[in-house]
Amino acid sequence: MKTRYYILIFCYILISCNKIYFYPDKDLGTVKTVVLAHAGGGSCIYKINTLDAAKYGLANMEGIEVDVQLSANSTVWLGHDSNLPACGGRSEKCFRGTTDNEIVQLDSCLGPGEDFTRLEEVFKYMAENYPYKYISLDVKSWSPCNFGDLDILSEMNTLADGIIKLKYKYHLINVVVESQTATFLSYLNDNGFGIECYLTTWGDFERGMLITLKRKFQGISFKYKYDEVITADHVRMLHKKGIKIQLWTVDKPSDLEEAISLDPDFIQTDNVGYFINVNNR
């Protein structure tokens, strides 16, 4: 009975290992961790996901992360939420159902406390000032204005096309896109040559790794200290298979030191001031 038990355990381990090690090694070698300013500036100095925040983040960090949305004109804008605020008698409205002109008018209505920025403005600024720095674009699982009227995947692919167009227009080298939607990333992976695709996973490391290997994405985006703890062994396992990893959002100095020691490819942080102080020592 005991012998049968050990045989079953051995078979289970063998099957589990085959799920991962079926894929050939593509060791990334020595990795230099790149730290990105979360949401552009990642601080209270400027409103997040704006050109001013991006300028601040790019001036002080190795790159930035921003959230993006799509307008009714299929223009890519910076924005974390799919809904736009109400103002001046105008009710709350979703990004995708709002034209570029209406977004500009809303910006004016809300005053200096709110600034909406086209992704093209950030790409243009980077091309002119920081062409070799990194930008990571966070594409949320997209929420349409009306579930009955829209093809969600088609809409996300339109967003991908907008990103690809801007990437080629401004010849930026280090463009990364992260999303929970694997089908969207596959479309981007097939059509956006030179854009790195990262699958966002909320605490399920093995699942994220296996999907990334199967879909041939470049990496995973992992919420730091959320559900499953990421260790140096996890990172080494990914790197051995040619997969990169972003850790987000790491803010405490002690957490930053710990995260850096794991040798990930990217760390997103709101604590830009910490790195400014470190660099000025």
Whether 244 maps to a domain, the answer reads yes
The residue-averaged pLDDT of 51-58 equals 96
Tokens of 180: 């929970």
Spatial distance between the Cα atoms of 92 and 70, rounded to a whole number of angstroms: 16
CA 272 to CA 60: how far, in whole Å?
7
**Confidence label for 194 from pLDDT (cuts 50, 70 and 90):** very high
Residues 196 and 219: beta-carbon distance below 8 Å: yes
Average pLDDT, the chain: 89
Beta-ladder partners of 246: 221, 266
Does 159 score more than 80 pLDDT? yes
Q: Please, which pLDDT band fits residue 5 given cuts at 50, 70 and 90? A: very low
Please tell me the predicted confidence (pLDDT) of residue 10.
Answer: 44
Count how many domains the chain has: 1
pLDDT for 4 equals 54
Domain of 240 in residue numbering reads as 22-81+117-279
CATH number at residue 193: 3.20.20.190
Q: CA-CA distance, 129 to 124, in Å (whole number)?
A: 9
Task: Compute the average pLDDT of residues 226-231.
Answer: 89
Averaged over 68-76, what is the pLDDT? 96
- Verdict on whether the full-model pTM lies above 0.75: yes
Which two structure tokens, joined as six digits, stand for 101? 């002109």
Domain presence at residue 108: no
Q: Is the pLDDT of residue 279 over 60?
A: yes
Q: What is the pLDDT of residue 1?
A: 55
Residue 208 within any structural domain of the chain: yes
| Residue 88 pLDDT > 70 | yes
Q: What is the mean pLDDT of residues 176-187?
A: 96
Q: Is residue 176 part of a domain?
A: yes
More confident residue, 136 or 5: 136
Top-confidence residue, 178 or 276: 178
What is the pLDDT averaged over residues 252-265?
97
Residue 110 within a domain: no
Q: Is residue 222 situated within a structural domain?
A: yes
Q: What CA–CA distance (Å, rounded) separates 257 from 103?
A: 40
pLDDT at 33 (0 to 100): 98
Q: Are 6 and 220 in contact (CB under 8 A)?
A: no
**37 assigned to some structural domain:** yes
Residues 10-29: pLDDT tens digits? 454 444 454 555 789 999 99
Which range among 146-150, 203-207, 220-224, 247-251 shows the weakest confidence by mean pLDDT?
Answer: 146-150
Per-residue pLDDT, 150: 58
Alpha helices for 22-94 (secondary structure H): 51-60
Q: Is position 104 within any domain?
A: no
